Structure 1
Amino acid sequence: MAIVYFRFLLSQLDSNRKTYVLRRNLKLKNFIFEFYRSSFDFISDIKNNTENFFFGRIVIRPVSKQFTNFFERS
């Protein structure tokens, strides 16, 4: 398991979960990305006030393809 730091659009997150899961955007369908709420650092994009970005801690865990597909959305 690896811990990395990334920058994402808030619109890519599923805010209904305690941990935020991002699938398809990183092109790694064999991994699941868990975003931990306590590590978020929300900032505003100076160039575009309508977009909010954050830097969050991401834990990457390999998962089965079936499990990954379950979380993917069109």
Structure 2
Amino acid sequence: MQWIFFIEKPVLSVGQFNRLSNIFDNGGQVIFGAAVLSPFISGIASINILVIILGGIGALLCWVLSVWLAKRGEEL
């Protein structure tokens, strides 16, 4: 099963890497807006800190994956 991680020929083209990068960047923005910013903007009296933390982590993961995919696409 380890041979899957050592594929020499890339499966995706440069355009597909850029497209996936853009999708994850947009996903990170949506998660950040929905989970982190909307409770503060809407003025909810009881803001659940766990939702805000998980939303921030989810947005950061999407953005890190987006940057990694963009750099991977540039290497091809």
Same fold (TM over 0.5): no
Q: Which has the higher contact order (CA 8 A, sep 6+)?
A: 2
- Structure whose CA Rg is larger: 2
Structure with bigger strand share is: 1
TM-score (norm. length: structure 2): 0.20
TM-score (norm. length: structure 1): 0.20
